[in-house]
Amino acid sequence: LTAASNVTQAPHVLVLLPTYNERENLERAVSAIFVAQPSFSVLIIDDASPDGTGELADRIAAEDSRVRVLHRAGKEGLAKAYLAGMRWALAAQPHFTHVFEMDADLSHDPGRLGALLSACIDDGADIAIGSRYVRGGGTEGWPWRRRMISRGGGLYAQLILGFAVRDWTAGFMCFSRRSLEMLLDQPIWAVGYGFQIEMKYRAYRLGLKLREVPITFIDRTAGESKMSKRIFVEALRLVWRLRATVRKSLPS
């Protein structure tokens, strides 16, 4: 080993923020990210929100060079939006070493960005997962009915996909560039929410190192949830397809 090979590359971090009708939340979400992590960059991925979130995103980007916007023609689901952002980062932005997934509705605390990044950089994880269901994690502001649905869905996923991950549906994550390259090298089936489960299961089967970091998920106080029955049913079916089809492979 030469001395040079021990020098670690300084992290360059991109946060992907998908938005659909988040006009009331977006500005606060972006500034809170920069309060916590001034050196990060943000890519807002807007699906032509009817409430004008896209125009707001352009205004934010015009005032801050750390912010970029990807406008998409219409609402095609969370998976397509994230995949577009990830492909943009991989194809056109070679300097980014880590890419985050994060909600734009203030449910994910930017104060945890550092802990997630550290799990990748200092603890050698390929993917860090902001988890509600490990010690120290939880949810805040959810009515019991919402908690039951989340916990029930989580247990369902665990029974079918196993206990390698506690919070299969988590949407606050940090990916190393290498892990994203490996994941996007294969087809991704999910359209909606199931995307979160699919990315984790494929990563696990690829032999990537996943690490859960506790977070407290805070219920949105403004705007509306995009969770639909169709997306929920898609996720319920998807886990079976993943289990039956995605085989274990050795990391390259």
Tell me the C-alpha to C-alpha distance, in Å, between residue 187 and each of 87, 198, 246.
13, 11, 11
67-106: which residues touch Mg ion (CB under 5 A)?
Answer: 103, 105
What the block records as the tokens of 69 is 């916007």
Nearer residue to ligand GTP within complex by CB, 19 or 179: 19
Q: Is 158 exposed, middle or buried (0-12, 13-18, 19+ CB in 10 A)?
A: middle
77 binds, among ligand GTP, Mg ion, none (CB under 5 to 8 A by kind): ligand GTP
Candidates 103-111, 114-122, 180-188, 243-251: pick the segment binding ligand GTP (CB under 6 A): 103-111
47-86: which residues touch ligand GTP (CB under 6 A)?
Answer: 47, 75, 77-78, 81
The nearest distance, CB 219 to Mg ion, in angstroms, is: 8
Minimal CB distance to ligand GTP: which residue?
225
What the block records as the tokens of 130 is 């902001």
78 binds, among Mg ion, ligand GTP, none (CB under 5 to 8 A by kind): ligand GTP
Tell me the C-alpha to C-alpha distance, in Å, between residue 185 and each of 65, 118, 146, 190, 202.
30, 25, 35, 15, 11
Contact 22, 48 (CB under 8 A): no
The nearest distance, CB 196 to ligand GTP, in angstroms, is: 9
Report the Cα 28 to chain-centroid distance in Å: 18
Candidates 6-14, 113-121, 155-163, 218-226: pick the segment binding ligand GTP (CB under 6 A): 218-226
Minimal CB distance to Mg ion: which residue?
105
Contact 130, 170 (CB under 8 A): yes
101 binds, among ligand GTP, Mg ion, none (CB under 5 to 8 A by kind): none
32 binds, among Mg ion, ligand GTP, none (CB under 5 to 8 A by kind): none
- Residues 27-61, buried b or exposed e (16+ Cβ, 10 A)? eebbebbbeebeebbbbbbbbebeeebbebbeebb
Among 41, 107, 131, 179, binds ligand GTP (CB under 6 A): 107
What the block records as the tokens of 111 is 């104060």
209 lies in the binding site for ligand GTP (CB under 6 A): no
Residues forming the site for ligand GTP (CB under 6 A)? 18-20, 22, 45-47, 75, 77-78, 81, 103-105, 107, 220, 225-227
Residues that bind Mg ion (CB under 5 A): 103, 105, 107, 220
